[in-house]
Amino acid sequence: MSDKLKDRVAVVTGGSSGIGLGIAKRFAREGAKVAITGRNQAAIDKALKEIGADSIGIQGDVSNLTDLVRIYKTVESKLGKIDTLVVNAGVYVLGSVADLTEEQFDKVSDINFKGAFFSVQKALSALKDGASIILISSMVNGKGVPNHSAYSATKAAVRSLARSFSADLLSRRIRVNTLSPGPIDTPVFSTVASSEAEANAMKEAMGGFTPVKRVGTPDEIAAAAVYLASDDSSFMLGAEILLDGGIREL
């Protein structure tokens, strides 16, 4: 690796699995000191073994503002001020406009939208001037997909936040950009399937929707995150990197 993030402090919310874990591992390989958050302590402990030295894990819920304050205080006390914040924690909740329940709506909104907003707000005092914030959205933020209405809306909100946050934080030279993946090979499929076979079938079908005829990998997303976290992207703010295998453009 190139040590592009050597000695930098990075926080990845929802970093115990999937895309978040892929980003945390790649950041560590690039020399960063990484803190991950998650709601399940056992999953955090397992992830830390994969991430390696100079990594810490903090249990917490991004939709709980008290947890967020505690998380950032812990990071500051153990690792120092934050150079990069990756707002990745999210849930994948599916349902048609006719069938989605209020409970499901509140869950996806509280974690994906409210959680993203306050993950940034509560981090402001812990962020260095000139820091990079990476918001993880989704390619569905700009495309209509059946059964994705509430989920897609939260991810469109996240995309919008990158623009507004960048404008708000110009005086501190804090850059906020969005990374929008397409279908990625993560455990998320199991959360909306009734069996492993159904999850694998869903993954194969979604890969088939892409022009490249496959799902992406967490490390492919992580490579783009390294770019956004590093000085290579110093002229980029309020923007979006789309990594979806060509679904939205072809």
pLDDT digits (tens, 9 = 90+) for 35-66: 999 999 999 999 999 998 789 999 999 999 99
Claim to verify: residue 112 and residue 155 sit in the same structural domain: yes
Rg of the chain on CA atoms, in Å = 17
* 195 and 170 within one domain: no
Q: Is residue 141 part of a domain?
A: yes
Q: Are 89 and 123 in contact (CB under 8 A)?
A: no
Please identify which residue in the block is written with the tokens 């980003």: 23
pLDDT value, residue 173: 98
Give the model's pLDDT for residue 54. 83
Nearest to 88 by CA among 116, 125, 48: 116
Same domain, yes or no, for 37 and 74? yes
Q: How confident is the model at residue 243 (pLDDT cuts 50, 70, 90)?
A: very high
Same domain, 41 and 147: yes
Tokens 């993203």 correspond to 116
The SS3 call for residue 244 is coil
User: What residue numbers bound the domain in which 67 lies?
Assistant: 9-181+217-241
Of 50-54, 113-117, 204-208, the one with minimum mean pLDDT is 204-208
Contact 142, 248 (CB under 8 A): yes
Confidence (pLDDT) at 18: 95
Predicted pLDDT at 199? 76
CATH number at 143 reads: 3.40.50.720
Structure tokens at 27: 């950041």
249 part of a folded domain: no
Report the percent of the chain where pLDDT is more than 70: 99
Shared domain check, 229 and 110: yes
Is 1 among the domain residues? no
Amino acid in the structure at residue 159: R
Determine the Cα–Cα distance for residues 222 and 236; give it in Å rounded to an integer.
17
Are residue 88 and residue 152 in the same domain, yes or no? yes
Packing angle, helices 18-29 and 218-229, rounded to 10: 50
> Phi-psi region for residue 80, left (φ > 0), alpha (ψ -120 to 50) or beta?
left
Higher per-residue pLDDT: 195 or 239: 239
Evaluate whether residue 97 is within a structural domain: yes
H helices of 40-101, in order, are 41-51, 65-78
Q: Strands 82-87 and 127-136: what pairing? A: parallel
Q: Is residue 247 part of a domain?
A: no
Same domain? 16 vs 31 = yes
* pLDDT mean over 177-189: 89
Q: Band of the pLDDT at 1, cuts 50, 70, 90? A: low
Which active-site residues does the annotation give? 151
How many domains would you assign to the chain? 2
User: Per residue, what are the HEC states of 162-223?
Assistant: HHHHHHHCHHHCCEEEEEEECCECCCHHHHCCCCHHHHHHHHHHHHHHCCCCCCECHHHHHH
pTM of this prediction? Answer: 0.94
What's the one-letter identity of residue 98? A
Contact assessment for residue 150 and residue 105, using Cβ atoms and an 8 Å cutoff: yes
pLDDT at 20 over 80: yes
